[in-house]
Amino acid sequence: MSVTIRDVASRAGVSISTVSRVLNGTSPVREEKRQLVLEAADALGYSPNPAALSLLSKKTGGLGVLLPFVGGEFFSELLNGMDEAAQELGMFLLVSTSHRQPGEFRKAIAALDKRVDGLVVMAPELAREEAASLLRTKTPVVFLNTDARGLEADVFNFDNHAGAHALTEHLLRAGHERIALIAGPQDAHDARERLRGYTDAITAAGLSTDGLVYSGGFTREAGFSCAMEILEATPRPSAILAANDYCALGAISALHQAGVEIPDEIAVCGFDGLASAAYSVPPLTTARVPVQEIGYRAIRRLAARVDGNASDHEQQVVPVDLVIRGSSAPAPEAVEA
């Protein structure tokens, strides 16, 4: 049976409130009584639980993390960075998911809010107005990859626009003129920004996106399905830019199944820079996001905000790196020339 604050008070011969004041430093206690409490707590091996600390000191030592999902390489890497920072700070994480559904998002926020000292929120599907509503609570919030434009908030967003723009330009330089985009969910901020980056690059090249944007998603299944549609198009695109690496890997699978040579017949690019993308066949060209580093920085920033050590709000658009591999190459007609 676990030791309680009542057990410590009984052994020390003091009141429960005295034990609380000593262990939480909320008000002065005579040195004699303080020593009795500390000795009793040590002898019994008493350690206050987070719920008790929340009631007494108004801090739990916990930080909440709300993500769209927790499965897969991307979120695993993000959580590794967050966990590293939390361990350095002597704090713990409570993680929940929204599954990109507004209703589940609100439930998760309600469940986390009173149990943690601050929140890291990654909700690309969240409307800016809902993001603003979170800032009206007393709980500090750091946003990741969320539409928080113009808000007085700490925000770390990936440069989705620049990454998609760079990937599209890479394909254009290789001679591809019909570049299909398998787009992500259009209620998601990151997907909209990637679409904007692609569109801006195509338009700047004097080309059109008409008939080249396919409604897909961030899954392998979406990539596979859209790639099969792309193969039926006339004229057929010579390159595919996928919403993310998972989507690109699904597209590669579909092209292999159809007997299409990559990149000789169709080039493929992804986005995110998953470790496994380097081992696809052929290795995937992608825009690499420093996911673990961003997770680490978000937790450090949130802890500083919780402790009152952050004054100005930090808003960063984190650059991504173009990683060119074997899945992209000059368009077939460009090679022949």
Domain of 238, CATH number, reads: 3.40.50.2300
Residues 188-210: pLDDT tens digits?
A: 999 999 999 999 999 999 999 99
pLDDT reported for residue 157:
94
Q: What b/e readout covers 25-56, taking b as 16+ CB neighbours within 10 angstroms?
A: eeeebeeebbebbeebbeeeebebebebbbeb
CA 2 to chain CA centroid, Å, is 37
82 in the same domain as 116? yes
98 in the same domain as 30? no
CA distance 22 to 5: 11
Question: 135: helix, coil or strand?
Answer: coil
**pLDDT mean over 217-240:** 97
% of the chain with per-residue pLDDT over 70: 93
Residues 91-149: pLDDT tens digits?
A: 999 999 998 887 888 888 888 877 899 999 999 988 888 888 888 878 899 999 999 88
51 in the same domain as 138? no
What's the pTM? Answer: 0.80
CA 68 to chain CA centroid, Å, is 8
DSSP for residue 323: E
71 in the same domain as 29? no
169 in the same domain as 137? no
CA distance 202 to 172: 8
CA distance 260 to 12: 78
96 in the same domain as 44? no
Predicted confidence band at 241 (pLDDT cuts at 50, 70, 90)? very high
Asked whether the beta carbons of 309 and 155 are under 8 A apart, the reply is no
Nearest to 269 by CA among 248, 253, 246, 289: 248
Burial degree of 212 (CB within 10 A; 0-12, 13-18, 19+): buried
**pLDDT mean over 72-89:** 95
Q: Identify the residue whose tokens are 């003091």.
A: 14
CATH number of the domain that 20 lies in?
Answer: 1.10.260.40
Residues 180-190: pLDDT tens digits?
A: 999 999 889 99
CA distance 195 to 163: 10
pLDDT reported for residue 18:
85
β-strand partners of 95 = 65
Least confidently predicted of 160-169, 235-244, 323-332: 323-332
Tell me the residue range of the domain where 122 lies.
Answer: 62-159+290-318
104 in the same domain as 69? yes
Cβ neighbours, 10 Å, residue 60 = 22
239-242: strand order across its sheet? 213-215, 179-183, 239-242, 267-269
329 in the same domain as 186? yes
Backbone angles phi, psi at 280, to 5 degrees: -70, 170
**pLDDT mean over 321-328:** 96
Residues 5-47: pLDDT tens digits?
A: 888 889 999 888 888 777 765 567 788 888 898 888 888 888 6
Least confidently predicted of 172-186, 291-305, 321-335: 321-335
Query: H/E element holding 193?
Result: helix 189-204
Asked whether the beta carbons of 95 and 116 are under 8 A apart, the reply is no
313 in the same domain as 228? no
207 in the same domain as 330? yes
Asked whether the beta carbons of 145 and 133 are under 8 A apart, the reply is no
83 in the same domain as 11? no
Predicted confidence band at 52 (pLDDT cuts at 50, 70, 90)? low
- Domains contained in the chain, number: 3
Tell me what the pLDDT averaged over the chain comes to. 89
11 in the same domain as 99? no
